[in-house]
Amino acid sequence: AKQIEEYLADQYRFDLPQTVVDAEYNALIRNASQAEDDAKELDEKQKKELRKQASDRVTVSYVLAEIAEKEKISVTEKELDAHIRVTAAQLYVKYEKFKAHLEETGGIYRLQERIIEDKVLDFLYSKARVAEK
């Protein structure tokens, strides 16, 4: 899946909404800062790499969404419910409480997107020709 994502990020270049890239970049900065235990500021090289990662992630997300639409790949309520149940169990949270939290915070939409992206990546993997590096 990672190779497919890298390929898509390299192959497709188009204007991206800056606010979406900025939101992804800020999320990456937060994650990187937490990983560094807030011990030090990220240097410019690290920030530049995170900016590229953010742009690549947004690009891949848009490309996968377009493929999902063209191939009519979607997520059913049953699939969504199964993912919610599994995640709730992993977090030791009651299903109803976790589902309500996802609905209140909009997390349910992100979960749907992630499931669709995974299904599209599976679809692409099934169609891909494997080449050794």
Distance CA 48, CA 53 (A): 9
Question: What pLDDT is attached to residue 30?
Answer: 84
Task: Label residue 56 by pLDDT band (50, 70, 90).
Answer: very high
Highest mean pLDDT (candidates 3-12, 57-66, 122-131): 57-66
Question: What pLDDT is attached to residue 39?
Answer: 45
* Mean pLDDT, range 21-30, rounded to an integer: 90
Instruction: Give which of 39, 61, 77 is closest to 118, Cα–Cα.
Output: 61
Q: What's the pTM value of the predicted model, to 2 decimals?
A: 0.81
Answer yes or no: is pLDDT of 36 > 80: no
Answer yes or no: is pLDDT of 37 > 60: no
Answer yes or no: is pLDDT of 115 > 80: yes
Question: What pLDDT is attached to residue 75?
Answer: 96
SS (H, E, C) 108-122: HHHHHHHHHHHHHHH
The domain limits of the chain are 1-72, 73-133
Answer yes or no: is pLDDT of 114 > 90: yes
Instruction: Give which of 12, 54, 10 is closest to 32, Cα–Cα.
Output: 54
pLDDT in tens, 77-102: 999 999 999 999 999 999 999 999 99
Enter the tokens of residue 118: 């995974």
- The residue type of 11 is Q
Mean pLDDT taken over the chain: 90
**Contact by Cβ (8 Å): 91, 98:** yes
- Local structure of 93: helix, strand or coil: coil
- Local structure of 26: helix, strand or coil: helix
Cβ partners under 8 Å of residue 32, min gap 6: 42, 46, 50
**Contact by Cβ (8 Å): 85, 95:** yes
